[in-house]
A and B are shown apart, each in its own frame.
Chain A
Amino acid sequence: MIKILFALLAVLGSSIIGLAQTTSPTQQPPPAPHTNLKVGDKAPDFNLPSTIVGADNRRMRYKLSDFKGKKNVVLAFYVFAFTGG
C-alpha cells in the first residue's frame, strides 16, 4: 500500500515538474525590438515635455531641431523610471 502511495507521489511530482518546464518559455518577456535606424541616417525630430521647469514656471519642451547647428544630442532611451541604470 505504502509502495503504491510513493509511486503515485513520484508520478505526480514528475508531472508537475514537466508542466513547469513546458510552461516556462511562455513566461519569457517578448523580445525587445531593435531599431531600424542606422548610423548615417537622419534622426527623426521630436518635441517632448521634460523634467526641467522654465522661467515661466512651466515644464520646458525640447525639440531636436532646436539643436541643429548648435549642439550634438545624446538621446538615452530607458525602459522605466526607478529601474536604475
Chain B
Amino acid sequence: MKAYQADIAKFEATDTQVFGVSIDSPFANAEFAKQIGVTFPLLSDIKHTVLKDYGIFNEDGGYGNRTTFVIDKDGVIRHIDEGNVAIEVTGAENTCNILAHKKESPQ
C-alpha cells in the first residue's frame, strides 16, 4: 500500500481512483492507513464476497491472494498483477498511462 501512496499523484494525473481491499474491518484498516500514511480509501471485504467474485478467495486459509486489477472507465479489466509482482505499482501505472492517452487521442 505504501508503494501506491508514494505514486498516488501519478495515478490521479491519469484520472484513476486507487483502492486497497482487504478482509480487515474498516476500523483496523483506518488504523493501518494512519500508521503507514495512506490517504486513498481502503475497502473492507469482511464477508469475502468481492474476493470470491474476483476469484482470489482461498477456501483453506480464508485469505486473499495479493492481486491488483486495473479497470477502465467502461468497467473492463485492463491489467492484472498477481503475487509478489502485485507489490510493484509499475505495471498498473503503465496501464493507467496508456488508458489516459487513449482518452486524449483524437478518434
Contact = CB atoms under 8 A, between A and B. Distances in A.
B71 A64 contact: yes
Please report whether the interface of chain B is mostly helix, strand, loop or mixed according to DSSP.
Answer: mixed
Interface in B48-81: 49-51, 53-58, 60-61, 63-80
A30 B74 CA distance: 35
Interface residues of A, number: 45
Contacts of B21: 48, 75-78
A33 B65 contact: yes
Contacts of B55: 33-37
A78 B42 CA distance: 10
Nearest to B28: A81
Contact residue range for chain B?
35 or more
B76 A37 contact: no
A18 B26 CA distance: 46
Please report whether the interface of chain A is mostly helix, strand, loop or mixed according to DSSP.
Answer: loop
Contacts of B19: 50, 62, 73-76
| Residue among A42, A59, A70, A81 with most chain B CB within 10 A | A81
Given A43-B76, A72-B14, A72-B16, 9 more contacts: A37-B55, A39-B78, A68-B73, A73-B70, A74-B69, A75-B54, A78-B64, A78-B66, A79-B66
20 contacts: A32-B56, A32-B58, A33-B55, A33-B58, A34-B56, A34-B65, A45-B75, A46-B53, A67-B73, A72-B15, A72-B71, A72-B73, A72-B78, A74-B17, A74-B69, A75-B69, A76-B1, A77-B54, A77-B64, A81-B28
